[in-house]
């Protein structure tokens, strides 16, 4: 049945592809298309954010300034660091450094966990201050730059609804990513990936970088509204 049995290839080549390059190109294109769906998936939330930020800019500013900018910036740095370790792990796979590869993948997981830990601290803080949308939500304050103009608590709640929705969806993606990388680490440790075949690492890496890019936008949009006032 397999007419190309004579062609030399690894066990990872599936029957319906004619060669490893075709399989790799298919996997890569598939991953990129999946990331496009992810862009649009987050896009719906970005659209909601944009609309309400346009309507309630002052209230959004006041709510945004209750977020801890140091933790936000720290987490940004952590994620960028993890993107570096992911990029380096591709290099390690391409050059066949198995131990380095495992180490870099572990470092990625570790940085991902640090990010989630900091996020948990921030969520806990919001919970303490009754900034979690719902029945016990409470927000008082003035619109930045407009002394005496009180913040509409509904509009502040809208900010926090979007904050939790967007960062929550992002965190969910991080958790999935950490799961993926745990599996990759195990496979890499067994020596499954070679300089000829490392497509899963490449594709998981694309996913991780995408999640990083989402955060690159979330950070200024959520933490940096009207900070100068």
Partner 1 sequence: MATAVVTAERENYLNKEYGVRSWLLTVDHKRIALLYLVSVTFFFLIGGLFALLIRLELLTPAGDLVQADTYNKLFTMHGMVMVFFFLIPVVPAVLGNFLVPLMIGAKDLAFPRINLLSWYLYIIAGVLMLHCMLTGGVDTGWTFYTPFSTAFSNTKVVEAGIAVFINGFSSIFTGLNFIVTIHRMRAPGMTWSRLPLFIWAQYATSVIMILGTPVVAVTIVLVAVERLFHLGIFDPKLGGDPLLFQHLFWFYSHPAVYIMILPSMGVISELITCFSRKRIFGYSFVALSSIGIAVLGFLVWAHHMFVAGISLYAALIFSALSYLVGVPSAIKVFNWTATLYRGSITYSTPMLYAFGFLGLFTIGGLTGLFLACLGVDVHVTDTYFVVAHFHYVMVGGVLMGYLGGIHFWWPKITGRMYPEFWGRLSALIVFVGFNLTFFPQFILGYLGMPRRYYQYVPEYQVLNVLSTAGATVLGVGYLMPMVYLLWSMRYGKPASDNPWNAAGLEWMTSSPPPTFNFDETPVVDFEAYDYEHIPEKHEEEVAVG
Partner 2 sequence: MSDTSEHISSPKLYVAIWLLLMVCTALTVGAAFIDLGPLNTIVALGIATLKAVVVVLYFMHVKYTHERMTKAVVVSGFFFLLLLLALSMMDYTTRGLG
Binding positions for partner 2, 6-25, rule CB under 8 A: 20-21, 25
Please choose, from the candidates 131, 147, 117, the residue with its C-alpha nearest in 3D space to the C-alpha of residue 64.
131
Q: Find the shortest distance in angstroms from Cβ 96 to partner 1.
A: 27
Rule CB under 8 A: is residue 22 a binding residue for partner 1? yes
- Contacting residue, 55, 127, 154, 186, with partner 2 by CB under 8 A: 55
**Residue 96 within binding range of partner 2, rule CB under 8 A:** no
3-state secondary structure the chain: CCCCCCCCCCCCCCCCCCCHHHHHHHHHHHHHHHHHHHHHHHHHHHHHHHHHHHHCHHHHHHHHCCCCHHHHHHHHHHHHHHHHHHHHHHHHHHCCCHHHHHHHHHHHHHHHHHHHHHHHHHHHHHHHCCCCCCCCCCCCCECCCCCCCECCHHHHHHHHHHHHHHHHHHHHHHHHHHHHHHHHHHHHHCCCCECCECHHHHHHHHHHHHHHHHHHHHHHHHHCCCCCC
**How far does CA 145 lie from the centroid of its chain?**
33
Q: How many CB atoms sit inside 10 A of residue 174's CB? A: 23
**Closest CB to partner 2 among 9 and 187?**
9
Contacted entry of partner 2, partner 1, none for residue 150, CB cut-off 5 to 8 Å set by kind: none
Residue 157 interaction partner, one of partner 2, partner 1, none, beta carbon < 5-8 Å per kind: partner 1
Among 69, 121, 172, 175, binds partner 2 (CB under 8 A): 69
For partner 2, what does the binding mask look like between residues 97 and 136, x meaning CB under 8 A?
----------------------------------------
Q: Which stretch binds partner 2 (CB under 8 A): 36-44, 120-128, 130-138, 156-164?
A: 36-44
> Does residue 203 interact with partner 1 by CB under 8 A?
no
Q: Is residue 176 near partner 1 by the rule CB under 8 A?
A: no
Binding site for partner 2 (CB under 8 A): 20-21, 25, 28-29, 32-33, 35-36, 39-40, 43-44, 46-47, 50-51, 54-55, 69, 73, 76-77, 80-81, 83-84, 86-88, 90-91, 94-95, 195-196, 202, 205-206, 209, 212-213, 216-217, 219-221, 224, 226-229
């Amino acid at each position: 049945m397999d007419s190309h049995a004579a062609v030399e290839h690894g066990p990872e080549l599936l029957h319906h592809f004619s060669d490893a390059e075709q399989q790799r190109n298919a996997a890569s294109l598939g991953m990129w298309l999946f990331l496009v769906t992810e862009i649009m998936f987050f896009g719906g939330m970005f659209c909601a954010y944009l609309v309400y930020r346009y309507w309630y800019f002052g209230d959004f500013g006041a709510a945004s300034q209750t977020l801890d900018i140091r933790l936000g910036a720290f987490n940004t740095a952590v994620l960028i660091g993890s993107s570096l370790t992911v990029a380096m792990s591709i290099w390690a796979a391409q050059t066949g450094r198995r131990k380095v590869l495992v180490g870099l993948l572990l470092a990625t997981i570790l940085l991902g966990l640090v990010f989630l830990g900091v996020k948990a601290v921030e969520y806990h803080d919001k919970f303490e201050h009754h900034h979690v949308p719902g029945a016990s939500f409470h927000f008082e304050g003035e619109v930045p730059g407009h002394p005496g103009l009180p913040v509409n608590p509904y509009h502040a709640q809208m900010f926090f609804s979007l904050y939790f929705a967007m960062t929550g969806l992002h965190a969910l993606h991080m958790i999935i990513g950490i799961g993926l990388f745990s599996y990759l680490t195990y496979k890499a440790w067994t020596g499954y990936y070679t300089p000829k075949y490392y497509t899963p690492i490449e594709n998981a890496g694309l996913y991780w970088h995408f999640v990083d890019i989402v955060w690159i936008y979330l950070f200024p949009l959520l933490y940096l509204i009207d900070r100068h006032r």
